[in-house]
Amino acid sequence: IEVEGHDDVFVHYSAIQSEGFRTLEEGQQVEFAIEQGPKGLQAANVTVV
């Protein structure tokens, strides 16, 4: 996920809060929390706005 003014944040499909096939489209606006993962920062509780 691209974060304005910061480095990109990794997002795993399992962090996307939606029904059915969990995907994000380029340019889609989302809200999320940032957590420290095993390989750096990652998104959690990702929801489309």
The mean per-residue pLDDT over the stretch 36-47 comes to: 94
- Sketch out the chain's domains with CATH numbers: 13-48 (2.40.50.140)
20 phi-psi bin (left φ>0, alpha ψ -120 to 50, beta other): left
The mean per-residue pLDDT over the stretch 13-25 comes to: 92
Chain-centroid distance, C-alpha 27: 12
The closest alpha carbon to 32, from 48, 12, 8, belongs to 48
* pLDDT at 48 exceeding the cut of 90: yes
The mean per-residue pLDDT over the stretch 6-24 comes to: 92
The mean per-residue pLDDT over the stretch 18-45 comes to: 93
Which pLDDT does position 20 carry in this prediction?
A: 86
Pairing of strands 30-37, 40-48: antiparallel
* pLDDT at 6 exceeding the cut of 90: no
